[in-house]
Amino acid sequence: FFLTQPPSVSVPPGQTATISCGGDNIGIKNLDWYQQKPGQAPVLVMYDVSARPSGIPERFSGSNSGNTATLTINRVEAGDEADYYCEVFDRNSARRIFGRGTKLTVL
Amino acid sequence: QVRLVESGGGVVQPGRSLRLSCVASGFTFGSNGLDWVRQAPGKGLEWVAFMSIDGDNKYYADSVKGRFTISRDNSKNTLFLEMSSLRLEDTSVYFCARNSERGSLDYWGQGTLVTVSS
């Protein structure tokens, strides 16, 4: 089981960033998203596809459709520049699987 | 507040062993599963191992199975990762992370660097 992410996404500040994560039957899995800034530990920004942890701005939202999950960041700010990873726990193989990450650049 | 602090990293020769520790505070340690996740320099996140609350369930990535052992001491609020037969490709920052009720990794430590080098 693999999760496929685009290597990079670039958006101007104030615009909307969408980061995709593809995988077989991803719609039936509890998918999470993590944000990681340089030199820092990852931070959970979305869990169970579309639930926002406490402290994460409402500008962050998640969805899935078919075999693709999407993290959407509205009104992108310079501080959102980071690597974003999707992740699922594959119960069939008892493995936690991360996507390869998407580098979000705010132009 | 929830805090996870890893230690035990360092420089080690190929084939040698190392034990990492992760001391937790700010929550009831025995109420959460725990994971180790690593990140090679300039690379993405790679899951390493998971241990359930009671320790009955342990899962490992294929890349470390048979070489790494995850364990926990709930009386000391500490998670361990015993690493043996280390390889050059095990060089990474190793993070410990807490499982939420939903299985997400809701809190992470700052990581400890393991460098395998001859």
A4 vs B contacts (CB less than 8 Å): none
pLDDT of res. A29: 74
* pLDDT at res. A90: 84
User: CB A95 to CB B47 under 8 A?
Assistant: yes
**B86 within 8 A of B18, measured Cβ to Cβ:** yes
Positive/negative CA dihedral, A22, A53, B20, B5: positive
Whether the predicted pLDDT of B39 surpasses 80: yes
CA distance B101 to chain A (A): 11
**Per-residue pLDDT at A28 exceeds 80:** no
- How far is CA A55 from each of CA A58, A60, B105, rounded to the nearest angstrom? 9, 11, 15
Helix (H, G, I), strand (E, B) or coil at A5: coil
State the average pLDDT over residues B32-42.
96
**Structure tokens that stand for B49 in this block:** 């191992």
Q: What is the DSSP string of A75-94?
A: S--GGG-EEEEEEEEETTTT
Cα–Cα distance for residue pair B36/B2, rounded to 1 Å: 17
DSSP state of A71: E
User: Is the pLDDT score of A25 beyond 90?
Assistant: no
Interval B89-117: pLDDT, tens: 999 999 999 999 888 999 999 999 999 99
- Residue A98 identity (one-letter amino acid): F
Residue B101, helix vs strand vs coil: coil
The single residue listed with the structure tokens 């062993």 is B17
CA distance B70 to B33: 12
Tell the residue number behind the tokens 């008892």, with chain if given: A94
| pLDDT tens digits for range B42-94 | 999 999 999 998 888 999 999 999 999 999 999 999 999 999 999 999 999 99
Residue type, B92: S
Residues of A with CB under 8 A from a CB of B: 30, 32, 34, 36, 40-44, 47-48, 51, 53, 83, 85, 87, 89, 94-101
Assess contact for B70 and B60: CB atoms under 8 A: yes
The predicted pLDDT at position A94 comes to 86
Say how far apart CA A7 and CA A21 lie, in whole Å: 11
Instruction: State the pLDDT at residue B90.
Output: 98
**Chain mean pLDDT for chain A:** 94
